[in-house]
């Protein structure tokens, strides 16, 4: 028999109490008797009462779910979802995950939907650096945290890894390994310079008295691994006798490696490769990519943290968090002395 759901009304009836008394007991209000509270809680446990989240959210005008809007769930940020989910669960929050597939229209739809579901917050890795539309539709209604280096507008909340520090760590490890002719492979001119990776590279190259050797892949729509592959080939054809290369994205780094090994260049014996992101695949034994990994749990915690603070106080000042990434050394890089 499909007994019908037990609501607050059921509890109230059973105990001869008013609805408000039950509500107060369940929500730890101050003006409720200790005895009554016990009674209500007992009955609730007995009847297996669980609050209807929808009704509660509607009445409270804010739900307990946060929207996660990603350009591509099969990216680092998708992999960060696991951490995000765990942190969220600890705070009894629910995550609604959207993959916008890099489509601004879809992105807008997702954001609107989240607003209409009275989401408690939105974390988003936006399609474009132009976030005016997102700001427009979320305007004051719901706190937003931008994820990843795409947005570093100080008037909004954002969490990303400190790419300057990460880049420096990667390059320093190469330089300390004796490398001098170090190339850099970037995805897009804009994002690499905005995040500071490019600037750090330029500075460090000039510090060791080397020219900057930068390879740009500016075709946004290309598969990252394939983009990396093309740049790997260009790098080989450049004629520069490069001994190491720093790639701004792991996926592209895999493409670079592919191009190198295909041309008979051994990694890391002839050329060391370091990526950036710390994707799961980098850790596979047959991949074993040295990479600058982002501290996922830390970032996830910070995201939820900021969201909660801004949910409590709509006028809280914008917050920014730069997580310190960690260089994870694997088999794709080594000292320059490996060279024959």
Partner DNA sequence: AGATTTCACTAAAGCGCTTTAGGAGAATAT
Partner DNA sequence: ATATTCTCCTAAAGCGCTTTAGTGAAATCT
| CB closer to a second copy out of 55 and 324 | 55
140 lines the binding site for a second copy (CB under 8 A): yes
Contact partner, 96, from a second copy, DNA, none, Cβ < 5-8 Å per class: a second copy
| CB closer to DNA out of 94 and 190 | 94
| CB closer to a second copy out of 72 and 129 | 72
Helical ranges in the chain per DSSP H = 8-15, 19-26, 34-47, 53-60, 76-90, 104-116, 132-138, 163-176, 189-194, 197-207, 224-237, 250-262, 296-312
Stretch in the footprint of a second copy (CB under 8 A) among 13-21, 31-39, 83-91, 162-170: 83-91
Burial track 36-48 (b if 16+ CB lie within 10 A, e otherwise): ebebbeebbeeee
Out of 14, 36, 109, 305, name the contact with DNA by CB under 7 A. Answer: 36
Classify 288 as helix, strand or coil.
coil
Out of 113, 128, 188, 210, name the contact with a second copy by CB under 8 A. Answer: 113
Binding track over 47-76 against DNA, x by CB under 7 A:
--x-xx--xx-xxxx---------------
**Which H helix or E strand runs over 184?**
strand 182-186
Stretch in the footprint of a second copy (CB under 8 A) among 155-163, 199-207, 241-249, 283-291: 283-291
φ, ψ (nearest 5 deg) of residue 283: -85, -10
Out of 27, 38, 42, 51, name the contact with a second copy by CB under 8 A. Answer: 51
5 lines the binding site for DNA (CB under 7 A): yes
φ, ψ (nearest 5 deg) of residue 274: -125, 135
The label of the residue with tokens 């009445």 reads 59
Which residues in the 145-184 window bind a second copy by CB under 8 A? none
Q: Is 99 in contact with 75 (CB distance < 8 Å)?
A: no
Q: Is the peptide bond before 247 cis (omega within 30 degrees of 0)?
A: no
Count helices and strands (H / E) in the chain. 13, 12
Residue in 167, 240, 171 with CA at minimum distance from that of residue 208:
171
Give the sign of the dihedral formed by CA 42, CA 46, CA 48, CA 49: negative
Out of 6, 41, 96, 297, name the contact with a second copy by CB under 8 A. Answer: 96
Quote the least distance from Cβ 24 to DNA, whole Å. 6
Classify 64 as helix, strand or coil.
coil
Out of 19, 53, 208, 316, name the contact with a second copy by CB under 8 A. Answer: 53
324 lines the binding site for DNA (CB under 7 A): no
Structure tokens at 43: 């009955």
286 lines the binding site for DNA (CB under 7 A): no
Out of 14, 109, 199, 319, name the contact with a second copy by CB under 8 A. Answer: 109
Quote the least distance from Cβ 167 to a second copy, whole Å. 24
Which residues in the 255-274 window bind a second copy by CB under 8 A? 255, 257-258, 261
Q: How far apart are CA 114 and CA 101, in angstroms?
A: 17
φ, ψ (nearest 5 deg) of residue 332: -85, -5
Out of 8, 186, 235, 245, name the contact with DNA by CB under 7 A. Answer: 8
Residue in 274, 311, 303, 305 with CA at minimum distance from that of residue 289:
274
Q: Which residues bind DNA (CB under 7 A)?
A: 5, 7-9, 16-21, 23-24, 26-27, 31-37, 49, 51-52, 55-56, 58-61
Interface residues toward a second copy, by CB under 8 A: 2, 5, 50-55, 57-58, 63, 65, 73-74, 79, 81-82, 85-86, 89, 94-99, 101, 106, 109, 112-113, 115-118, 139-141, 225, 254-255, 257-258, 261, 280-281, 284-287
């Amino acid at each position: 028999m499909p007994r019908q759901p037990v609501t607050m009304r059921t509890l109230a009836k059973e105990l001869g109490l008013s609805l408000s008394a039950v509500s107060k007991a369940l929500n730890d209000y101050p003006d409720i008797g200790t005895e009554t509270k016990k009674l209500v809680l007992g009955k609730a446990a007995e009847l297996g009462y669980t609050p209807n989240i929808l009704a509660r959210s509607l009445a409270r005008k804010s739900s307990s779910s946060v929207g996660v809007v990603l350009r591509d769930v099969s990216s680092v940020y998708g992999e960060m979802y696991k951490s995000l989910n765990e942190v969220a669960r600890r705070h009894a929050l629910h995550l609604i995950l959207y993959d916008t597939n890099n489509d601004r229209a879809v992105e807008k739809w997702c954001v609107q939907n989240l607003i209409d579901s009275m989401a408690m917050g939105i974390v988003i890795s936006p399609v474009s650096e132009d976030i005016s539309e997102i700001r427009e539709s979320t305007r004051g209604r719901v706190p937003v945290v931008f994820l990843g280096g795409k947005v570093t507008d100080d008037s909004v909340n954002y969490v990303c890894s400190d790419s300057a520090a990460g880049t420096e760590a990667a390059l320093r490890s190469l330089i300390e390994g004796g490398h001098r002719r170090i190339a850099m492979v970037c995805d897009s001119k804009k994002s690499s310079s905005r995040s500071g990776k490019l600037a750090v590279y330029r500075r460090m190259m000039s510090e060791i008295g080397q020219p900057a050797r930068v390879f740009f892949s500016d075709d946004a729509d290309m598969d990252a691994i394939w983009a990396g592959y093309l740049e790997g080939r260009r790098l080989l054809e450049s004629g520069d006798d490069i001994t190491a290369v720093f790639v701004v994205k792991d996926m592209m780094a895999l493409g670079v490696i592919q191009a190198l090994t295909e041309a008979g260049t051994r990694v890391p014996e002839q050329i060391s490769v370091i990526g950036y992101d710390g994707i799961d695949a980098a850790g596979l034994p047959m991949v074993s990519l040295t990479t600058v990994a982002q501290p996922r749990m830390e970032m996830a915690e910070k995201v939820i943290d900021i969201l909660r603070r801004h949910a409590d106080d709509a006028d809280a000042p914008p917050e920014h968090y730069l997580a310190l990434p960690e260089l994870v050394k694997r088999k794709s890089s080594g000292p320059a002395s490996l060279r024959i």
